[in-house]
Amino acid sequence: MNSIDKIKKSMLHYHQFELTSNRNKNMSDNEMIAQFMGYTRQSDGAFKDENGFWNNFEVFETWNWLMLVVQECKCVKEADYVLIDAIDFSLCNNDLLGVHEAVVKFIKAQKL
């Protein structure tokens, strides 16, 4: 393993640790993302969409799901392109936590 691969591996572990350690703080952020994506909160605390239930707050802290959210953000008409640029910047830097934070800022700005 070369030094660049070691750095990438350590960054991945750092982001996983940071996401895990910020779980409670991000709980409301992830709930907001779920609502932005069209999920509704049920009386038992689970989220429901037209295809089934979702109740795992960690799901929006993975690349697969977060990319769906990014795609949804980019489809918003009259979006603030400074916030879209922040998402793109984090994507270009392969920064999972940065993308998550940029998406949260974007969604919060949509509620103004």
Pull the structure tokens for residue 107. Answer: 């969604």
User: Cα–Cα distance between 44 and 112 in angstroms, integer?
Assistant: 29
Per-residue pLDDT of 71-106, as tens digits, reads 999 999 888 889 999 999 999 999 999 999 999 999
User: In the chain, how many domains are there?
Assistant: 1
Range of the domain at 53: 3-110
pTM exceeds cut of 0.85: no
Query: Nearest to residue 42, comparing CAs of 34, 101, 30, 82?
Result: 34
**For residue 17, is pLDDT > 50?**
no
